[in-house]
Amino acid sequence: MSFSKVYSAQTNLLSVTPISVETDISRGTLFAFALVGLPDKAVEEARDRVSAAIKNSGFGSPKAKNHKIVISLAPAELKKEGPSFDLAIALSYLLANDEIEFEPEKKLFLGELSLDGKVRPIRGVLPIARFAKQNNFKELYVPMENAREAALIDGLLVFGVRGLKELLGHLSGEEMLDATELTILVDEATTTPTDFSDVRSQERAKRGLLIAAAGGHNCAMYGPPGTGKTMLAKAFAGILPKLTFDEMLEATGIHSVAGTLAETFVTNPPFRAPHHTASYVSLVGGGAIPRPGEITLAHHGVLFMDEFPEFDRRVIESLRQPLEDKVISVSRAKGTAHFPANVLLIAAMNPCPCGNFGFRGKSCVCTPSALSRYRRKMSGPIMDRIDIWLEVDRVLPTDLHGDSEGDKSEIFRARVEQARAAQKERFNKKGKGISRNAEMSARDMVTLVNLDKESRKTLDLAAERLGFSPRVYHRMIKVARTIADLESSEEIKNTHILEAVEYRPKKFDV
C-alpha cells in the first residue's frame, strides 16, 4: 500500500472541524517530504517531530529512504494550526509505508509528538470528544493527560496514550490499552477564600448580592475605598449553585480551547477578574485568529470588574451586547466569530476619583471637571443593563471588633438554590428554555409575571418620577420576581416592587 487515510480534528474558534490526514508515498525517487493543506508553522514543523518520533520508536526514519512523501490535511481551504496532528501524521505514514496494519475507520487520533516518541497534551480535547460522539466515531486516542477530560463524554471509547510505541502495540493487538473510564463527577461543596461572614456590617449589600445570585441579575457596588466591595465580590462566587452537567461541559470546553484549564474540569461557575488596564481584545476576544476573551471565559459564571470606571470606555461599552444578548460577536475581514457570553456582571467602583463624594467621614477633593470626566465613563445604556446598584458605606470601627456574627456563605447558597429551583419549576411548566428570572424576555413576563393593581401602580409611579426606560422598567419586574422567590411568594407584592426600586442608583448617577 502506498496510500492511507487517518482521521484527526481541530477546534475552529469554539467549533470542531474533522481533518483527514492522507499520505501518498512514491518510491524510487529522490527524497522529498511535502505537507500540504494550509499548514501553519507548527504544523509544518511536524515533519521533523514525526520523523524523529518514528525513528526513536523502533522504525526507520522517513528521511532515511529515497521516496517522496506527500501528506495532505483536508479540507485544503481550512488553515491548520497547532501540533495536535502529529500522532495522526505518524500513523498515516507508517500505514502507507506498510510498516503497520490496522483499520483506521471510526478512530480519531490527537496528540503532539516529542522527538523521543512521547505524546504531549494539547488544547480543546473536550469539544473534539463531543464532536466524535455526535459523528459516530467509536474510539478516540488522546494524550494521557487529556484522557479524563475526554472521558466526560459517555458512549465513546477513550484511550489515553503515553507514547507512539505504546499506541502501535495497541493497534497491532500485541498489548492492548485500557479505555479510560467514564468520569463521574463527585459533588463537592463550593469553597472560596472569602466567606460572607468575613465581611463586617454591609448587610444591605449582602442582601443585594443574594438577590443578584438568586435571579442572575447584574450588580454594581459603589462606595468609598476600603469598605469591602472587593471582598463581597469574591465571597459572591461562593453562594452560586454548582453548574449543571451541560453547563459544566460547555464551560470546560471553552477553557480547554483557550488553554486556561487549570484543573481537569470546570464544576463551579467561573470567576474572572480582569485588571482595569486590560485591553479591549483581551476582554472581548479577537485577534488575527479570533480567540475567546475574558467575557467568554466567564461564561456561566461571574465577570468581576473592579474599579469599573477606570476601564477604557471602549471596553465598558463592549459589554452592551453580551449583557443583553448573552453572546458576543467579533467581526474581522475574514469573517465573524460568535462567542457565548452568558455572564453575571459584578462591578465595583468609587463614586469619584478620590472615592469620597457623597459619603460621610471625608470630603471630596475632586474638581468638577475630574468628576464629570469620571462619570462620563458610565453611559446610560450600560447603567440600564445593571439591575442592582448597591451602596457600600464606610464601616464603623466598633463593627470591626469581636467575632463575626453574620451568616456564612453556605446559608446564602441554600437560599439561592431554593429560589433557583422555584424559578426552574415555573419555567419548565410554561415550556420556557430558561432557568433564571434575569433571562426572561418582555414577552415571557406577560405569561410568567402577574402584578396586582397596587404593585403596578407603585412601579408606574416610580418609573414616571425616576425616568425609567422600558428596559429598566422590565428589569425592575424581574428583580421583584426574584425577591418574591426568595420569600417563597407566588405573587409579586408591593413591598417587593419597593425593594426592587431601591436598588436603582442614587449618588452615582450620570
- Which residues are within 8 A (CB) of 357 and not within 5 positions of it... i.e. 6 or more apart? 351, 364, 366, 371, 507
Domain assignment present for 452 = no
Q: Which three cell numbers stand for residue 41?
A: 508553522
Backbone dihedral region for residue 362 (phi beyond 0: left; psi -120 to 50: alpha; all else: beta): beta
Helices 409-429 and 470-486 sit at what angle, rounded to 10 degrees?
Answer: 110
Local structure of 305: helix, strand or coil: strand
User: What is residue 202's predicted lDDT score, i.e. its pLDDT?
Assistant: 86
* Integer CA distances (angstroms), 126 to 25, 123, 270, in order: 33, 9, 17
Mean of the per-residue pLDDT values of the chain:
88
Domain assignment present for 91 = yes
Residue 325 sits at φ, ψ, to 5 deg, of: -105, -10
Based on the number of CB atoms within 10 Å of its own CB, is 473 exposed (0-12), middle (13-18) or buried (19 or more)? middle
More confident residue, 477 or 199: 477
Q: Which three cell numbers stand for residue 95?
A: 500505514
Distance CA 509, CA 502 (A): 14
CATH code, domain with 85: 3.30.230.10
User: What is residue 335's predicted lDDT score, i.e. its pLDDT?
Assistant: 67
Distance CA 329, CA 456 (A): 37
Q: Could you list the residue range(s) of the whole structural domain that residue 61 is in? A: 3-171
Min mean pLDDT across 152-161, 176-185, 344-353, 440-449 is at: 176-185
Domain assignment present for 114 = yes
Min mean pLDDT across 18-22, 89-93, 431-435, 465-469 is at: 431-435
List helix spans (H) across 279-344: 280-284, 294-297, 313-317, 320-325
Min mean pLDDT across 93-97, 104-108, 221-225, 441-445 is at: 441-445
Domain assignment present for 282 = no
Q: Which three cell numbers stand for residue 222?
A: 459603589
Domain assignment present for 473 = no
Domain assignment present for 45 = yes
Query: What is the average pLDDT across 109-134?
Result: 94
Please tell me the total count of domains within the chain: 1
Strand pairing category for 112-113 and 285-286: unpaired
**For 178-188, what is each residue's pLDDT tens digit?**
888 876 665 55
**For 275-293, what is each residue's pLDDT tens digit?**
999 988 899 887 766 788 9
Per DSSP, 279 falls in state: -
Q: Which three cell numbers stand for residue 260?
A: 486556561
Query: What is the average pLDDT across 390-409?
Result: 74
Give me the DSSP letters along 135-187. TT--EEEEEGGGHHHHTTSTTSEEEEESBHHHHHHHHTTSSPPPBPPPP----
Dihedral angle at the C-alpha atoms of 390, 396, 398, 404, nearest 10 degrees?
20
pLDDT at 510 over 50: no
Q: Which amino acid is at 255?
A: H
Q: Which three cell numbers stand for residue 24?
A: 501518498
Residue pair 382/509 in contact (Cβ under 8 Å)? The answer is no
Query: What is the average pLDDT across 349-368?
Result: 84
Q: What is the pTM of this model?
A: 0.86
Give percent above pLDDT 70 in the chain: 94
pLDDT at 189 over 70: no
More confident residue, 287 or 297: 297
Domain assignment present for 403 = no
Residue 503 sits at φ, ψ, to 5 deg, of: -90, 10
Distance CA 410, CA 370 (A): 42
Does the bond joining 381 to the residue before it have cis omega, within 30 degrees of 0? no
Chain centroid to CA 50: 34
**For 23-62, what is each residue's pLDDT tens digit?**
999 887 778 899 999 999 999 999 999 999 999 999 988 8
User: What is residue 334's predicted lDDT score, i.e. its pLDDT?
Assistant: 63
pLDDT at 496 over 90: yes
Q: Which three cell numbers stand for residue 339?
A: 462567542
Domain assignment present for 86 = yes
Distance CA 293, CA 137 (A): 31
**For 246-260, what is each residue's pLDDT tens digit?**
899 899 999 988 888
Distance CA 163, CA 144 (A): 9
Most confident by average pLDDT, 109-118, 169-178, 280-289: 109-118
> Which residues is 390 bridged to in the sheet?
221
